[in-house]
Amino acid sequence: MANEVILLDFWLSMFGMRVRVALAEKGIKYEYKEENLSNKSPLLLQMNPIHKKIPVLIHNGKPISESLTIVQYIDEVWNDKAPLLPSDPYQRAQARFWADFIDKKVYDAWRKVWTTKGEEKEAGKKEFLDALKLLETELGDKPYFGGDSLGFLDIALVGFYPWFYALETFGNFSVEAECPKLIEWAKSCKEKESVSKSLADEKKVYEFATERRKKIGIE
């Protein structure tokens, strides 16, 4: 059967970017469909009726949701090149743990920094940097979280990188000042075509976030 792959996505979603990078790493041809999140398509509502969220990967008509699950699915189906998860069960558990940490701590702090103000925003800023510092320690001296090559955890985190500029501007801080090794890591990820062509432009992210903040009364 011919492989038909469709990705329902939104250009600045960190979660969507994860899937784009994974597809690019594996060299998979797919159709990208941009969703208007204030007017979700019938296809999205049909393919992810429970959460109604992107990203959704549709492979030969069957939907897979939740970005980390999608990345693991891609890794298992297209297992002929660029392995994303390590083969050792303990290493896999470690990668999954840190990806879960990103989804809980980094995401929560990200939301606070750009959509709240005052005390909550300051708390978010601290939580964001604390979380990144922990990740930087986990990275250690390795070029990638995955070791010598880009892996699952690199993919889990790299989608946040285009958001750094916006968060730094709104929160008045510098990720590079606090986590220089992490910025080095992000830059070397971006040198890979699979990453650079998948990440949103940070200035456009900033513009979008600024508009949204005005609408919710934060600016």
* Alpha helix ranges (H) inside the chain: 14-25, 42-47, 67-77, 89-101, 107-115, 118-139, 152-158, 164-171, 175-178, 180-190, 193-196, 202-215
Binding status of residue 30 toward another protein by CB under 8 A: no
69 interacts with another protein by CB under 8 A: yes
Residue selected from 39, 42, 89, 217 as contacting another protein according to rule CB under 8 A = 89
Could you tell me the smallest distance in angstroms from the CB atom of residue 54 to another protein?
14
The span from the CA of 146 to the CA of 204, in Å, is: 29
Q: Which two tokens stand for residue 108?
A: 């929560």
Residues 175-204 that bind another protein (CB under 8 A): none
Stretch that binds another protein, among 4-12, 92-100, 106-114, 121-129 (CB under 8 A): 92-100
Instruction: Choose the binding region for another protein from 39-47, 70-78, 166-174, 181-189 (rule: CB under 8 A).
Output: 70-78
Which residue in the set 50, 119, 140, 141 belongs to the binding site for another protein (CB under 8 A)? 50
Q: Which residues contact 76 (CB under 8 A, 6 or more apart)?
A: none
Structure-block tokens of residue 30: 């797919």
- The single-letter DSSP state of residue 62 is E
By CB under 8 A, residue 93 contacts another protein? yes
**Which residues here bind another protein, judged by CB under 8 A?**
50, 59, 62, 64-66, 69-70, 72-73, 76-77, 88-90, 92-93, 96-97, 100-101, 134
